[in-house]
Amino acid sequence: MQVDPVRWSAYLPCPLLRICSQANGRIMQSCRPASPALSRLVPHALLLVLTLAGCRLPLLDGLLTSSADDSAEALLGGLGDGSAAAGKLETLPLECTFIRHAEKDADLGDALWNLVDEQCLPTDLRYRLNSNGLRAGMIRGSLPPALAARFRPTADAAGPTDGSLLEADQAVVRRVVQALAGRSTEIVATPRVPELVLLERDTRSSAEQLSGQTYADASAIFDVRITPAADGGIGLSLTPLIKHGPIERSWIGDDGAFRLEAGQRKTLMDRLVLELRLPADGILILASAGPPSSSLGDAFFRDPRGRHEGRRLLAVRMLARTTDPMFTAGPAATADD
């Protein structure tokens, strides 16, 4: 039984193989009676021509374009669209809750700090924080019902981020910030005051020394950067800083280019940077430590104007589980993962 190569080639799945087989079959049928040697050379010659042409023969372009494009698009699955992936920025909801309480509040004093793990921070960092009137630690899991009731907000600040709601007479103020992974996000702890007297101890030098500074038109701010983690939590970096002085224009280097930015001067507390891994069920607690003494803790968690007695604390947590981009199917992590 002799098989017709032209008819058999119609069942080939690949368009390129089907067309080459059909052409080869017709040539072999026309050349078989004349020269058997020539019929054996035809497939090799045809393969050489296709190779030199890069499989893009002008006569075959119209037949192969649709099928080849569909196959390539199915294999790539949209991963080749770099512009669409680069233009897609996903934000992560970061909840910041400020709680005002009395100096000798039993619930937010020892009862709270007995639940806080302060050992998650290095010993030398805890010493530098405490010497500047700051205290920090992490809570995992749910709070006791009586203590959780103290964290329920009386004011929800989902919109403004300038700290104006902190000036209101509210015991608990909750703010939700949509943060970009790896980008700077500012949390205003103390709104702008005409004059801020600040005593700093060992914040930017290795020597044990105490220095004082008076800042005009100053506000206390936490600069926060988050990084999604594979376990649903985040890597958290938090830097205290003071913005002060008049608004000035300056050139800022960013991604290999310079851009003009207007803003106040920033004084970073470099040696007080908090870096830790915050799990999905974790809450970061920051508060002042010790009596009032014009320390950094007073600037962030006591009212410099003296309008409110007592102190405040800050609770930071994520409202959605995160996913490390390395473990996602797409090019970017989403807050819904």
DSSP result, 28-97 = HHHHTTT-HHHHHHHHHHHHHHHHHTTT--HHHHHHHHHHHHHHHHHHHTTTT-HHHHHT---EEEEEEE
- 237, 225 Cβ separation under 8 angstroms: yes
Task: Return the pLDDT at 40.
Answer: 61
CA-to-CA separations, 231 to 95, 118, 140, 223, 318, in angstroms, rounded: 19, 21, 14, 24, 13
Last residue of a domain, one of 13, 48, 77: 77
- Please indicate whether residue 251 or residue 68 has the higher confidence score (pLDDT): 251
- Please indicate whether residue 197 or residue 26 has the higher confidence score (pLDDT): 197
48 and 118 co-located in one domain: no
Distance between CA 123 and CA 252 in Å, rounded?
35
The mean pLDDT value of the chain amounts to 74
- Please indicate whether residue 209 or residue 17 has the higher confidence score (pLDDT): 209
* Nearest alpha carbon to residue 317 among 165, 131, 187, 129: 187
How does DSSP classify residue 109?
T
In a domain, 178, yes or no: yes
35 and 137 co-located in one domain: no
- Please indicate whether residue 9 or residue 305 has the higher confidence score (pLDDT): 305
Distance between CA 91 and CA 335 in Å, rounded?
7
141 and 30 co-located in one domain: no
Average pLDDT over residues 206-223: 85
Q: Which of 28-32, 193-197, 326-330 has the highest mean pLDDT?
A: 193-197
- pLDDT tens digits along 72-115: 343 334 333 443 344 445 788 999 999 999 888 888 988 999 99
103 and 51 co-located in one domain: no
Residue 330 in this model has a pLDDT that exceeds 70: no
233 and 154 co-located in one domain: yes
* Nearest alpha carbon to residue 224 among 151, 273, 271, 162: 273
Least confident of 132-136, 172-176, 198-202, 287-291: 198-202
The two three-digit tokens of residue 107, written as one number? 């619930």
pTM value?
Answer: 0.65
Q: How many CB atoms lie within 10 A of CB 236?
A: 21
Task: Return the pLDDT at 76.
Answer: 34
Q: How many CB atoms lie within 10 A of CB 6?
A: 15
* Nearest alpha carbon to residue 154 among 144, 143, 168, 141: 168
Find the helix packing angle between 58-76 and 15-31, rounded to 10°.
Answer: 150
Task: Return the pLDDT at 22.
Answer: 59
Q: What whole-number percentage of the chain has pLDDT above 90?
A: 30
Residue 27 in this model has a pLDDT that exceeds 60: no
Vertex 287 angle, CA 283 and 289, to 5°: 140
Average pLDDT over residues 144-166: 66
Domain that holds residue 173: 94-327
- pLDDT tens digits along 132-142: 999 999 999 88
64 and 177 co-located in one domain: no
Q: How many CB atoms lie within 10 A of CB 312?
A: 23
Model confidence at 46, in pLDDT bands (50, 70, 90)?
Answer: low
Model confidence at 238, in pLDDT bands (50, 70, 90)?
Answer: very high
Task: Return the pLDDT at 335.
Answer: 42
Model confidence at 203, in pLDDT bands (50, 70, 90)?
Answer: low
Q: What is the dihedral of CA 263, 161, 287, 212, to 10 degrees?
A: 20
Question: Which H helix or E strand runs over 236?
Answer: strand 234-254
38 and 110 co-located in one domain: no
- Please indicate whether residue 59 or residue 251 has the higher confidence score (pLDDT): 251
- 170, 312 Cβ separation under 8 angstroms: no
Task: Return the pLDDT at 57.
Answer: 45
- pLDDT tens digits along 251-310: 777 767 777 778 889 999 888 999 999 998 899 999 999 888 889 999 999 887 766 778
Question: Which H helix or E strand runs over 98?
Answer: strand 91-101
193 and 296 co-located in one domain: yes
61 and 199 co-located in one domain: no
